[in-house]
Chain A
Amino acid sequence: DAGVTQTPRHEVAEKGQTIILKCEPVSGHNDLFWYRQTKIQGLELLSYFRSKSLMEDGGAFKDRFKAEMLNSSFSTLKIQPTEPKDSAVYLCASSFDTNTEVFFGKGTRLTVV
């Protein structure tokens, strides 16, 4: 089985640009997560979907971050407009249920200049 697939692996954006990160969860999984990872803040939850419904939308990230799940096998994270402080690794993850392990993609490293 394919794991969680994220594209692109690397993204460089200029300040003010709009970027869209993509994710394909493990087939059959019901839960999908978007996380941001930085050295200082660690792994921060941006959005959480269950069966395509948005369940949790990180309060601090509502302003310029928008995650969507168009179907059960594809999700996007849009950052608009980007700022240098958005430079981080963005991770997508999925799980079958609450009590099962969460599988992570390899992440997208975003650099905003």
Chain B
Amino acid sequence: AQKVTQTQTSISVMEKTTVTMDCVYETQDSSYFLFWYKQTASGEIVFLIRQDSYKKENATVGHYSLNFQKPKSSIGLIITATQIEDSAVYFCAMREGNYAQGLTFGLGTRVSVFP
């Protein structure tokens, strides 16, 4: 069974700085996909970035990047040059590639960006 754990409940940062969020996962599958989502104050859940388990390079999209450490089953999210509008709840999620299962989410990390 797949499991995703986010241990940081909340993080506060100053605008224009870098924030890092942790996520560890558990799976028996040799192929899996890791995702990060953002939930805004309005409740909307938006896809941010994805890492495929077979790729060694860390994914980067805009000011989002990942720190994929496969031996540690860890996929951290890094947001550089944070803006006020980055304030949200960030969810880590996983899907196994060889089993038809749904997307499993962590409990989320609330990020507050202050001016």
Q: How far is the CA of A32 from the CA of B37 in the complex (A)?
A: 17
**Complex partner residue of A106 from B43, B105, B108, CB under 8 angstroms:** B43
Q: Which residue of B lies closest to A55 (CB)?
A: B100
Are B43 and A107 in touch, CB under 8 angstroms? yes
Q: Is B103 an interface residue (CB 8 A)?
A: yes
* Least distance between A111 CB and chain B CB atoms (Å): 15
Are B47 and A102 in touch, CB under 8 angstroms? yes
Q: Is A20 an interface residue (CB 8 A)?
A: no
Max chain A C-beta neighbours (<10 A), residue from B45, B95, B106: B45
**Complex partner residue of B104 from A45, A89, A95, A106, CB under 8 angstroms:** A45
Are B106 and A42 in touch, CB under 8 angstroms? yes
> What is the size category of the interface that chain B forms with chain A?
20 to 34
Q: How far is the CA of A55 from the CA of B102 in the complex (A)?
A: 9
* Least distance between B79 CB and chain A CB atoms (Å): 18
Q: Which residue of B lies closest to A32 (CB)?
A: B102
Q: Which residue of A lies closest to B6 (CB)?
A: A42
**Complex partner residue of A42 from B33, B102, B105, CB under 8 angstroms:** B105
Interface residues of B in 97-115 (CB under 8 A from A): 97, 100-108
Set of chain B residues within 8 Å of A55, measured between Cβ atoms: 100-102
Are A56 and B105 in touch, CB under 8 angstroms? no
Q: Is A43 an interface residue (CB 8 A)?
A: yes
Are B47 and A42 in touch, CB under 8 angstroms? no
* Given A42-B107, A99-B33, 6 further pairs, Cβ under 8 A: A42-B108, A45-B104, A98-B97, A101-B47, A102-B47, A104-B45
